[in-house]
A and B are shown apart, each in its own frame.
Chain A
Amino acid sequence: MKNEGVHISSYSSHGIVLTVLLALTTLSVMVTDWHLGAFSVSIALLIASIKVSTVITYFMHVKFESLFLKLLIAGVFVIYALVIIITFIDYFLR
């Protein structure tokens, strides 16, 4: 019923993705030992964002899904980010 034209991810691509994720995890643990002060939050979040994008793109198969779904996911994250930013208009300017 649905297998004509459905992209099937290979086992090895999943393996490569896991390797990348484990490497990034190692990196983020190591970074905490380098005393970067205020930057450490940003770097941690940056690495986490890369990991999240990787999981979404490959494990969750979004790379091979419709443009609509890709835009939707991006849009949802944008709206969430805006909510945080706008809340901080209060907290940073009090």
Chain B
Amino acid sequence: MLMSTLQQNHSEHIDSETGKLGMWIFLFTELFLFGGLFLVYAVFRAKYSEDFHTAADELNTFIGTLNTVFLLVSSMTVAMSVTAIQKNNRKLALFLVLVTLVLAGLFMMNKYFEWSHKFEYNLYPGSEVLKNLPRGELLFFGLYYMMTGLHALHVFIGMILLSINIVKIGKGTVNQQHYLMLENSGLYWHLVDLIWIFLFPLLYLIT
């Protein structure tokens, strides 16, 4: 164990293995946070499988697939940005994080259009239309909004982290020697992707 180096931990830089372990544990908490919603989904899908199928038809599979592609590509670009910074290629790292951010923005734009489209049809929690739907369909939409909403909040937080990295790479405070911030933000971003990988089939691909 690298104990002696770690005892000097009171400088501005946290040892990278320490910081990474901290981020992984934080990711576990996020898994369990979304996990509660997935549990609710599982219970009601088992109970109302027909209604879930009907309601899921309202969702636009093309936009859902497009969003999945955006996030998968963005995971690749942020992973590549870590490679770039490790190889001291600052400009490439910066560019890749920027691309990640743009893809995130496209995802959010899609989400905005999806939601506002449904709002136009009065399909939102608490609306009269929803209250008159069969119970399983009502619950499906409740889950849809809460799960994609919580996910979108995390995309937004991820975008802030990515922006901070752009600034820091630009300034040089995230560099080949010290890139824990980028690595951890990358891990967070991958989590956002992971959650969507499960959300996508469960919400959009019900047959």
Contact B201 A48 (CB under 8 A): yes
CA of A33 to CA of B38 in the docked complex: distance in angstroms?
Answer: 24
CB contact under 8 A between A3 and B86, given known A9-B79, A29-B61, A76-B28 = yes
Question: With a CB–CB cut-off of 8 A, which chain B residues contact A51?
Answer: 197
Are B75 and A52 in contact, with the CB atoms below 8 A?
Answer: no
- Give the interface SS of chain A, mostly helix, strand, loop or mixed: helix
* Interface SS majority for chain B: helix
Count: A-B pairs, CB below 8 Å: 116
Which residues of A are found within 8 Å of B86, using beta-carbon distances?
Answer: 3, 6, 8
Number of chain B interface residues as a range: 35 or more
Is B177 a contact partner of A1 (Cβ separation < 8 A)? yes
In the bound complex, do residue B190 and residue A60 qualify as a contact, i.e. CB atoms below 8 Å apart?
yes
A37 to B206, CA, bound (A): 10
Kindly report which residue of chain A lies nearest to residue B17, judged by CB atoms: A2
A8-B86, A36-B207, A48-B201 known; A56 and B72 CB under 8 Å? no
Interface residues of B in 1-53 (CB under 8 A from A): 16-17, 21, 24, 28, 31-32, 35, 38-39, 42-43, 45-47
Q: Which residues of A contact B (CB under 8 A)?
A: 1-3, 6, 8-11, 14-15, 17-18, 21-22, 25, 28-29, 31-33, 35-37, 40-41, 44-45, 47-48, 51-52, 55-56, 58-61, 69, 72-73, 76, 80, 83-84, 87-88, 91-92
Extra 8 A-B pairs, beta carbons < 8 Å, given A1-B178, A44-B205, A45-B202 = A3-B176, A21-B72, A32-B206, A40-B205, A58-B79, A60-B79, A69-B21, A76-B31
